[in-house]
Amino acid sequence: MLEGTRALEIGNERLDTGLIKLRPSEILFDSSKGRPMDKVAAVMNELLNSFMAWVNGLALLVTMLSCRYVYDLLENFKRNYKIEEADFINTRMHPKGYTPEDSEESQYVNIVLRGYTIGLIKVLSIFLKIAMDVLYEEEDITTRSMDLNYFCTLSVEQVEGPLDEAISYLEKKPHVPFQREALLHLMLVKNLLKLSISMNERVDLFNARETLDVSHLHESVEILDELRTYQYVSLPESLFSRFVQVDCNNRHIPTSNVTLSSTEAIDILRGIVTSIQEVLLQIPNIQNEAQLILYLQHSIGEEMAHSASAIVRGFFQLFFIRDDKSICGLDETVGSLALRSMSSLCLVANSISDVDSWHIENTSDALTVRNDCFAKVSLLFDDIDSAFYQKLSVYGNNRCRQRQLLNRNLVLWDSLQYNAEVVEMHLSEYGIGDKLIQEGVPDQPCLAISSYIYYEKLCMMTEVVLTGFEQDTYRPSEAHMMYWYASELFAHTHQHLAGRLKEINSSKLKWINNMSKKIKKAKGPKKEALRSTQKRLVEEAVPILEENLAAIEQYLVPVSMTQYYLCRAVSMSVQLLEHFVKLPDTNSSLATPEKLYSLRMKPWSSIGTPELPPYERYKESNNIPETLAKYEGEALSRMLSKIITSVETKLDTVKKSVDTVMDNFEKDEKIKARYHFDDNRYMKKWQKEVVSTCDSYLKELEACRHFTGTEKHRLRSKKGHSRLFPIYYLQEV
């Protein structure tokens, strides 16, 4: 269908590339003809601009390929896929055996410019590979290749031959005008080619002793800064044309060529290089899994997804998770990272993951049961690996895709939670798995794996709900509802952290401490075995459990509480603002508010736990309109003022709560060791965003106090201090 709509219509100038009018100079442009060095440098610069226009999202056909040097060279290469044959001599224009004249200008073109063009095309091919492997076609970048081969079959070493030849040729001509500019362009391409090496660099994650070599990127930035200062002469006439659209295999309609200014192109390339440099420098500094997740969520998933080029995101994805599912190419894998993640929350020294500690109870056929349990646990861990892989793969995508993928992951994690619960309950029947130790309560299975999965799922759910604001998914009249739902999810998160997750860790600590009693009672080799187990657990598990408890109590619980307060306060603020608006879209709606609620919440209705709050609960929690409807005149104003004051108090509570989190974060050494990364930038940013959001809403509420009730308003949103919290405000009609 899509193909059909793109059918080329013969005889229609807008759709038929065969009818593109070209000047004779554009058709008969001779790429092999000698040119002075000033022209050659200008071509190099324009080719770079054109290349960056492609990186910026345009098609090759209207950028790089519109340059006759590139097209002729690739057409020649296509014949035998040999680098020696990739030259500028157009065999359709020149007789067989034709060789370019033996002049200096001819060498500038056929040695210098050829080397540069070949090198730049190879850089293009590296970018193309990144794009085709992990980026989205036409959304992130356009990879239509027009059936040409961009040296994808050649190694970087093969391509470096002509490039090095060009560099050494130019180095011998220091006095030629524009030699410096041309040489810098060649050096830039040579450095960029090393990106393919950087992409395959290996990092011993969490134990890196050395930083990665980024000298080529550093040098590239220096070259780009110098290139920014140069001016070039005009380009050879008709060099860039639409000839390629008329001549090559082309299933597309005619389009105008596009290029960028040198400044824009240099800015884009500089951005790419510095972002990649940042990735390569930061990853070895990450000390643990918690820091890695913070880095992925904030630096990659948020900052890079917003500001960096799609190529950088693609580079990161390929660099971070390799084909063999290893992380950064060495010992760490997706599976080991998943285990670390579980361990840093609740799965510490759990007997479920230690098969040797299994003592099968309540059965006569222990071996069969053991094998059956082992198979179930293995399968569960495989499923967790896959789900964790999906989670890690999200961050390198653009923000819209991130939300889509997270949404898809929710279904996966939801069914994973169910499976985990079934497996853990099954295992507990045979005495496998840890128990919760609570006074007065008989031993209950702690369900550490499903608790971890539930926590991850809740985090994903809140992220999906809140990123809906960033992507303008909700109507203004739905905003309070969605913030309320987010607050409900944060309440669940808080409850889960402060309840079950805290309990799992403290129970394990108690269990380890209680081992001393068992040791006293035991005799002989059993006593020794218990003693050595306790020693091992005290050395290995206890520090992690204490860290987990500190993280939950001092960091995760206060953060989830703050987020709960924030979402609740913002929801109430928006609902209050709605009071001053006549909302035609809700008031005159043909559907009942309950149906509208169900429709809006439909995407979350398929999640098993936590269940979607029923409409009645939503109405109960969001009763500002009902409350205000009971009053009129002076009484209404008094009630309004009372509600405004209560919302203002809630916003102030949020600000205080943020300060508490930050205090804990700075004071507690255990938390610092685990989460302090990149000068605590993420937390500082979070604090600033939350406080500024509260201040903005306090300002909006203050304005409400002065309304007389005769004004007409519309509810609008503007960019806020946080992408997830736009500021809703009243606009006078």
Partner 1 sequence: MKVEKLIGANLRVKVDDGRVLDGVLSVIDPFGNLLLANVYETSVDKLNESLFHTRELGLVSVPRNVIKTLMVDKKQYGRIGENQVS
- Shortest separation between residue 88's beta carbon and partner 1, angstroms: 14
Tokens of 483: 């913030």
Residue 75 near partner 1 by CB under 8 A: no
Toward partner 1, which CB reaches closer, 9 or 540? 9
Residue 733 near partner 1 by CB under 8 A: no
Toward partner 1, which CB reaches closer, 164 or 247? 247
Decide if 6 contacts 252 (C-beta within 8 A): yes
Residue 11 near partner 1 by CB under 8 A: yes
Q: How many CB atoms lie within 10 A of CB 513?
A: 14
Toward partner 1, which CB reaches closer, 9 or 213? 9
Residue 14 near partner 1 by CB under 8 A: no
Go through 320-351 and write b for each residue having 16 or more CB atoms within 10 A of its CB, e for each that does not: bbbeeebbbbeebbbbebbbbbbbbbbbbbbb
Q: Count of residues for the chain?
A: 733
Residue 23 near partner 1 by CB under 8 A: no
Decide if 49 contacts 258 (C-beta within 8 A): no
Tell which positions 269-308 bind partner 1, by CB under 8 A.
none
Q: How many CB atoms lie within 10 A of CB 314?
A: 24
Tell which positions 464-503 bind partner 1, by CB under 8 A.
none
Torsion over CA: 149, 154, 155, 156 (sign)? negative
Cα separation of 402 and 706, whole Å? 42
- Tell which one of 229, 231, 234, 249 touches partner 1 (CB under 8 A): 249
Residue 28 near partner 1 by CB under 8 A: yes
CA atoms within 13 A of residue 636's CA, in its CB half-sphere: 14
Q: How many CB atoms lie within 10 A of CB 132?
A: 14
Toward partner 1, which CB reaches closer, 41 or 60? 60
Q: What is the largest CA-CA distance in the chain?
A: 101
Nearest CA to 351 out of 454, 433, 407 is that of 433
Residues 6+ apart with CB under 8 A from 139: 398, 401
Tokens of 160: 């470096």
- Tell which one of 1, 4, 605, 710 touches partner 1 (CB under 8 A): 4
Decide if 434 contacts 448 (C-beta within 8 A): yes
Beta-strand pair 725-732/713-722? antiparallel
Toward partner 1, which CB reaches closer, 28 or 355? 28
Binding residues for partner 1, how many (CB under 8 A)? 25
Residue 27 near partner 1 by CB under 8 A: yes
Toward partner 1, which CB reaches closer, 2 or 367? 2
- Shortest separation between residue 250's beta carbon and partner 1, angstroms: 7
Residue 662 near partner 1 by CB under 8 A: no
Q: Is 434 helix (H, G, I), strand (E, B) or coil?
A: coil
Q: What are the angstrom distances between the C-alpha of 118 and each of 42, 73, 89, 495?
A: 17, 8, 14, 60
Residue 7 near partner 1 by CB under 8 A: yes
Tell which positions 313-372 bind partner 1, by CB under 8 A.
none
Nearest CA to 342 out of 416, 286, 402, 411 is that of 416
- Shortest separation between residue 47's beta carbon and partner 1, angstroms: 22
Toward partner 1, which CB reaches closer, 11 or 524? 11
Toward partner 1, which CB reaches closer, 8 or 330? 8
- Shortest separation between residue 248's beta carbon and partner 1, angstroms: 6
- Tell which one of 158, 250, 297, 390 touches partner 1 (CB under 8 A): 250
Phi-psi region of 81 (alpha: psi -120 to 50; beta: other; left: phi over 0): left
- Shortest separation between residue 251's beta carbon and partner 1, angstroms: 4
- Tell which one of 22, 83, 132, 400 touches partner 1 (CB under 8 A): 22
Cα separation of 140 and 312, whole Å? 11
E strands, 373-469, where?
435-438, 441-445
DSSP letter for 551, please: I
With tokens 């990161």, the residue in question is 316
Toward partner 1, which CB reaches closer, 6 or 535? 6
- Tell which one of 13, 19, 438, 667 touches partner 1 (CB under 8 A): 19
Q: Can you spell out the DSSP letters for 210-259?
A: S----HHHHHHHHHHHHHTT----PPPTTSB-SHHHHHS---S-------
Decide if 297 contacts 395 (C-beta within 8 A): yes
- Tell which one of 93, 233, 366, 542 touches partner 1 (CB under 8 A): 93
Toward partner 1, which CB reaches closer, 158 or 250? 250
- Tell which one of 89, 248, 400, 412 touches partner 1 (CB under 8 A): 248
- Shortest separation between residue 240's beta carbon and partner 1, angstroms: 17
Residue 519 near partner 1 by CB under 8 A: no
Residue 76 near partner 1 by CB under 8 A: no
Toward partner 1, which CB reaches closer, 68 or 457? 68
x/- letters, 136..155, toward partner 1 (CB under 8 A): -----------x--------
Decide if 164 contacts 116 (C-beta within 8 A): no
- Shortest separation between residue 355's beta carbon and partner 1, angstroms: 58
Residue 67 near partner 1 by CB under 8 A: no
- Which range in 15-23, 152-160, 499-507, 608-616 contacts partner 1 by CB under 8 A? 15-23
Toward partner 1, which CB reaches closer, 93 or 208? 93
Cα separation of 262 and 377, whole Å? 58
Torsion over CA: 683, 687, 688, 692 (sign)? positive
Decide if 88 contacts 72 (C-beta within 8 A): yes
- Shortest separation between residue 33's beta carbon and partner 1, angstroms: 14
- Tell which one of 74, 205, 246, 561 touches partner 1 (CB under 8 A): 246
Cα separation of 630 and 229, whole Å? 70
- Tell which one of 79, 251, 582, 595 touches partner 1 (CB under 8 A): 251
Cis, bond preceding 284 (omega within 30 deg of 0): no
Tokens of 728: 């809703």
- Which range in 121-129, 189-197, 246-254, 641-649 contacts partner 1 by CB under 8 A? 246-254
Toward partner 1, which CB reaches closer, 244 or 515? 244
- Shortest separation between residue 80's beta carbon and partner 1, angstroms: 19
Residue 1 near partner 1 by CB under 8 A: no
Decide if 50 contacts 63 (C-beta within 8 A): yes
Q: How many CB atoms lie within 10 A of CB 515?
A: 18
Toward partner 1, which CB reaches closer, 94 or 642? 94
Cα separation of 596 and 590, whole Å? 10
Residue 602 near partner 1 by CB under 8 A: no
Residue 6 near partner 1 by CB under 8 A: yes
- Tell which one of 1, 3, 588, 611 touches partner 1 (CB under 8 A): 3
- Shortest separation between residue 165's beta carbon and partner 1, angstroms: 28
- Which range in 76-84, 247-255, 307-315, 617-625 contacts partner 1 by CB under 8 A? 247-255
Cα separation of 174 and 152, whole Å? 34
Toward partner 1, which CB reaches closer, 75 or 204? 75
Residue 97 near partner 1 by CB under 8 A: no
Residue 209 near partner 1 by CB under 8 A: no
The residue type of 20 is: I
Q: How many CB atoms lie within 10 A of CB 703?
A: 13
Toward partner 1, which CB reaches closer, 90 or 477? 90
- Tell which one of 8, 519, 628, 662 touches partner 1 (CB under 8 A): 8
Residue 90 near partner 1 by CB under 8 A: yes
Q: Which residues bind partner 1 (CB under 8 A)?
A: 3-4, 6-12, 17-19, 22, 27-28, 90, 92-93, 147, 246-251
